[in-house]
Structure 1
Amino acid sequence: MIKITDKSACCGCSACASICAHKAITMKPDGMGFLYPEVDESKCVDCGLCNQVCAFNSTYDKSQNLASPDVYAVRHKDMDEIETSRSGAVFIALSDWILEQGGIVYGAGYEGHFSVVHKRAVSKEERNEFKGSKYVQSDLKDTFLQVKKDLKQGYKVMFSGTPCQTSGLLSYLRTLKQDISQLYVVDLVCHGVPAPYVWRDYLGYVEKKYHAKITSANFRDKSQIGWTAHKESFNLGNKYVCTSTYTDLFYKHIMFRHSCGVCPFTNLKRPSDLTIADFWGWEKVDESINRDDKGVSLLFVNTEKGRGLFSEIESHVNYWRTDTIHCMQPNLEYPSAISSLREEFERYFISRGFVYCGKKYGNMGLKYQLLGMLRRMKHKILG
């Protein structure tokens, strides 16, 4: 029977809940909205599968990995796809091929009022909801069960998610001895996953501040401020608003899941066939790649199966072969360091709400504005 005594030991991938044939495990949110397994002991038969399937550790399966990944800078040949994607739209090229084979794509989309969940797409129109980064942990719901069902029915399947999610899915399917020859798994270089309830309450704050309902949300809107900038943006009816409070809290590592601070996947032995990310350092490869500041994707090909998929999309993308020296990012070497104020933030968030925390720890309110004014005055005096 799985028991979470140390929150940093659980990434919330849902593999344990998915594999329980007796439905004794449900994923329950904590005060920040992070999901953890809860066992109904009256249903549990102590089979041990829930502990066996857990792949959030350094011993995750690396048996299919190449000695070192093939590394590429990639841009889609269709500029419309680049314009509407987070980086160079390599995800679109990959998922297009899967869909064109009659396959199914899984990725992070929205449910309800911009709650981030994993969804199933059977068309390009449905898949387009997965475009763009989503800086909040997604709720996987019964996605692992759906993937298993699709594979059993003979579909090609592409699953994209954080490396802890992809590792969990693969462990779940391998534990059940499911044939995964038709499964293509894509992870992303993850900085850490923020709390779902913080995102939810921030949306409420923005709507209250501007007296309007949010009709669209973008965690990083490169259409207005360029690819390298990082600010969230919203459409509220006819009003466009660009803010940075959520992003500010994100980079303070103060609202990440505890497990992000001990993530075992922050290395070059990825638990997926392919890895995608923004390519920071692209200019060291070729200064012409991204002169328009529209974005370029980093792609790691980690397995022979990944090589096969990449070969299918080569004609739809421009790509440059490179190496890890030109693309290393902190989260390819070590986990993000969780803020020492993380526990305090959670206590205040639960007891006093988002606005209080935004003012105390973020860039909201008079205190932050006065500090900014003082910094500008100091800079001006010092010349």
Structure 2
Amino acid sequence: MIQITDKSQCCGCTACASICAHDAITMQPDALGFLYPVVDKDKCVDCGLCEKVCAFNDHYDTSLNLPKPDAYAARHKDMKEVETSRSGAAFIAISDYVLENGGVVYGAGYADHFRVVHKRATTKEERDEFKGSKYVQSDLDHVFRQVKKDLKDGLTVLFSGTPCQTAGLNAYIGKKLREHLILVDIVCHGVPGPYLWRDYIAYLEKKQGDKICWVNFRDKQEYGWKAHHETFKFVKGGGKMSFTYLFYQHIMFRHSCGKCPYTNTKRPSDITIADFWGWEKTDPNINKDDKGVSLILVNTEKGREIFDAVKDRMTVIPAKLEDCLQPNLQHPSVIHPKRMKFEQDYQCKGFEYVMKKYGDMGWRHKVGKMKGKMRRIVKKLIGK
């Protein structure tokens, strides 16, 4: 039976819980809300399927991968789609094609009060909820089983998610049903804990005295594509805060993000999409307006078929793979050395305490900014 003794060895994909015919495995949250499998020994028959299906290792399935992915810069020809998507709306082009041909699409959306979950869409209107970045690990409760049912019912399924999620789903589905499953992963930086996001929402609403009714993790319409600022809309007014400050410190990531085996160009999916950082090397004009451009990596022959079917919906420019190798295509994110202390402080002293101690809410951040400003002034004066 599966037993997690080292949290860095589990990505929480739910493949083990999904494959258990006896429902002996449930996904239980830790202090930050990350889900881990827990086995009910009274139900377990020790069949070993849960250990066999685990794909979070260096031996994940790459049997369908091309020797080297095809790389492209891409932007949807409909600027409305670009403006309402995170990068160049490549996901919209691919998912539109699947939906128009009677398929279904799975992606990260919201349930309850902005809790990030994976959802199923059969229309473009439902799919639009999957647009944009969501810097929280999504809940995959029962989603893998639902995908398998769709495939058995003869539907084409597009599943989009992080590479650990697509690798887990691929292992769970198996080769017999893989023909009609299209896997699209993102170049992932890491995933923060769901409880921190939940508490952040509650903190903002308490501070504002109002309910949040809309969230954008990276508001490029106001700040531009390169900026990383989230925007919230309240029922009675607007607001702009900063959850992403802690995100980029890597202090609230899942432990497994620091050991991610998928941070390379052998992606566990048919197509990989991402922001195209360094697009200037490929074409100096495609993103001159700073509205966003997608990087597309085509990883399998099936990926090539899908890309050929949708490329006319986009402005597409072939790219050299070496010009696309952003950090998380080369190595995992480096976890903050105070990650464990952060979790202990959060568990014992709460959200506001850690945001003031480690984030940009308290006096430590203000003092640090002032010191940095003074150093730059002194450096400039010495330079003169």
Identify the residue that residue 41 of structure 2 maps to in structure 1: 41
- 1:197 corresponds, among 195, 198, 215, to 195
- Corresponding letter in the other structure for 1:144: F
Identify the residue that residue 78 of structure 2 maps to in structure 1: 78
Calculate the TM-score normalised by the size of structure 1.
Answer: 0.97
Mapped to 1, the partners of 2:376 and 2:276 lie a distance apart of 33
Displacement after TM superposition at 1:370 (Å): 3.3
Displacement after TM superposition at 1:67 (Å): 0.7
- 1:255 corresponds, among 245, 252, 256, to 252
- SS of aligned partner of 2:178: coil
Are the equivalent residues in 1 in contact too, given 2:264–2:331 (CA < 8 A)? yes
Displacement after TM superposition at 1:382 (Å): 4.7
Displacement after TM superposition at 1:324 (Å): 1.2
Mapped to 1, the partners of 2:82 and 2:306 lie a distance apart of 20
Identify the residue that residue 5 of structure 2 maps to in structure 1: 5
Q: Does 1:240 align with 2:243?
A: no
Are the equivalent residues in 1 in contact too, given 2:11–2:56 (CA < 8 A)? yes
- SS of aligned partner of 1:159: strand
Displacement after TM superposition at 1:178 (Å): 3.7
Identify the residue that residue 89 of structure 1 maps to in structure 2: 89
Unaligned runs of 5+ in 2: none
Identify the residue that residue 272 of structure 1 maps to in structure 2: 269
- SS of aligned partner of 1:147: helix
Are the equivalent residues in 1 in contact too, given 2:118–2:138 (CA < 8 A)? yes
Mapped to 2, the partners of 1:171 and 1:381 lie a distance apart of 56
Mapped to 2, the partners of 1:298 and 1:272 lie a distance apart of 15
Displacement after TM superposition at 1:240 (Å): 2.1
* Seq. identity, %: 61
- Corresponding letter in the other structure for 2:354: C
Displacement after TM superposition at 1:206 (Å): 1.1
- SS of aligned partner of 2:88: coil
- SS of aligned partner of 1:320: strand
Mapped to 1, the partners of 2:284 and 2:309 lie a distance apart of 27
1:1-383 matched pairs, under 5 angstroms: 1-174=1-174, 178-244=176-242, 246-380=243-377, 382-383=379-380
- SS of aligned partner of 2:69: strand
Displacement after TM superposition at 1:237 (Å): 1.9
Displacement after TM superposition at 1:56 (Å): 0.3
Displacement after TM superposition at 1:348 (Å): 0.5
Higher mean displacement: 177-186 or 28-37: 177-186
- SS of aligned partner of 1:215: strand
Deviation digits for residues 15-67 of structure 1, max 9, x if unmatched?
00000000000000001000000111110001100000000001011110001
- SS of aligned partner of 1:299: strand
Mapped to 1, the partners of 2:238 and 2:379 lie a distance apart of 36
- SS of aligned partner of 1:181: helix
Calculate the TM-score normalised by the size of structure 2.
Answer: 0.97
Displacement after TM superposition at 1:211 (Å): 1.4
Are the equivalent residues in 1 in contact too, given 2:108–2:134 (CA < 8 A)? yes
- SS of aligned partner of 1:140: coil
Q: How many residues align?
A: 380
Mapped to 1, the partners of 2:80 and 2:58 lie a distance apart of 40
- Corresponding letter in the other structure for 1:185: L
Unaligned runs of 5+ in 1: none
- SS of aligned partner of 2:212: coil
- SS of aligned partner of 2:172: helix
Deviation digits for residues 100-129 of structure 1, max 9, x if unmatched?
011000000000110100000000000000
- Corresponding letter in the other structure for 1:159: F
Mapped to 1, the partners of 2:168 and 2:128 lie a distance apart of 24
